[in-house]
Structure formats: structure tokens, C-alpha cells
Amino acid sequence: MTTVLTYGTFDLFHIGHVRLLQRASALGERLYVGVSSDAFNALKGKNSIIPYEQRAAIVAAIKEVDGVFPEENWTQKKSDIERLKADILVMGSDWEGRFDDLNTICNVHYLPRTEDISTTDIKKTFEKINRQQIVSLENQLRNARDTLLRNNLL
Ligand code: C2G
């Protein structure tokens, strides 16, 4: 029974996350996922939009996932691998090489990231929409004010 382990924030859950979990799952019979806690995200410099409980529940609902636990720090991977008897640690290619030191206790495997999708890009899209909405509202207010002024109502 091959056990696979992976970690992530999984904020604003998207297809890149799904594909990573599906490919990780295909490497064994069991897949466990360490989901970054809100506190650990802050340490990683990532302010997740969705709180840990919901991010963990979403990942746990993926049919390929057999178990979820909190990732609280950078140093718990070795004890997680031993506790879960993980045979393979899988991470996306943006982490290439970062966890090779764990090769002494399990296979470390990096999978290509899914192109053209990221939580950061999703956040930027929303920020852009918000900015456009603010500009539009400012223009409407300016037009209304000019109309009131022209009619000596202001
Ligand atoms: N991922 C991917 N393709 C994307 C986006 C993400 O394959 N377009 C992968 C990442 O490489 C990672 C996993 O999906 O393996 C989760 O991504 P994040 O939620 O961004 O996780 P991250 O912040 O990289 O946390 O200790 C390891 C860290 O907890 C990993």
C-alpha cells in the first residue's frame, strides 16, 4: 500500500490544486494532505482569504484525498512522513529541489504546475474589478454633482 503525502495552502481552491491532488493520488493508494494553518500562512507571507477550517474541508471533500491535517510549520514534514508511513512526498514544480533532503526517508517527487492559474492571479483579478468599480462610481458621482450644480441645486 503506497502512501502519498503533499502540503499546501489551497486558498481560493482552483483547478491547479485539483490536478495536483489527482496526480499525487495516482502515485499510490492513499493520499494525505497537510493544509497550511492560517498562522503558518502568515509565516509564509501568504494571507489566505479562506480560513483554514474551510480550506481543509474543501481538500478533505476531494475524492482522491484520504486524510487532511494542519501544516503548522516548515519542520514537521519529517515527523509527518514517519507518522503516516508516507512512501512519496509530492509537491508542485515551484518547490523543485526544496525538499530533497527528505529523500533519505521517502521518495520526493515534483509535478509540473498547472499553467495559467494561481491564487495570486485570482486575487489580482478581483482587485482589478474592484478598482474599475470604484472609478465608475466616482465618475457617476461626479456627473450627478455637476448636474446638481448646473441646476443650482447644490
Ligand atoms: N499548484 C499547481 N499548479 C498551480 C498552483 C498550485 O500544481 N497552478 C500546486 C503547488 O505547486 C503546490 C500545491 O498545488 O504543490 C498547493 O499550492 P499552494 O496552495 O500555493 O501551496 P503552497 O503555498 O505552495 O504551500 O510546505 C509546503 C507549502 O505548504 C506549500
Percent of the chain with pLDDT over 70: 100
Q: 48 CB less than 6 Å from ligand 1?
A: no
Give residue-wise pLDDT tens across range 61-105: 999 999 999 999 999 999 999 999 999 999 999 999 999 999 999
CA distance 103 to 48: 30
* Listed residue (105, 85, 93) closest to 4, CA to CA: 85
Give residue-wise pLDDT tens across range 98-131: 999 999 999 999 999 999 999 999 999 999 999 9
Parallel/antiparallel/unpaired status of strands 67-71 and 88-92: unpaired
Distance 9 CA to ligand 1 centre (A): 7
So what's the pLDDT on residue 48? Answer: 93
CA distance 154 to 151: 8
Assigned C-alpha cell, 30: 492513499
Contacts of 39 (CB under 8 A, 6+ apart): 72
Q: What is the reported pTM?
A: 0.91
Distance 104 CA to ligand 1 centre (A): 23
The Cβ of residue 18 has, within 10 Å, a number of other Cβ atoms equal to 15
Q: 30 CB less than 6 Å from ligand 1?
A: no
Domain boundaries, the chain: 3-111, 118-154
* Listed residue (117, 124, 98, 120) closest to 109, CA to CA: 98
CATH architecture of the domain with residue range 3-111: 3-Layer(aba) Sandwich (3.40)
Helical (H) or strand (E) element with 67 = strand 67-71
Beta strand ranges found along 75-139 (DSSP E): 88-92, 107-111
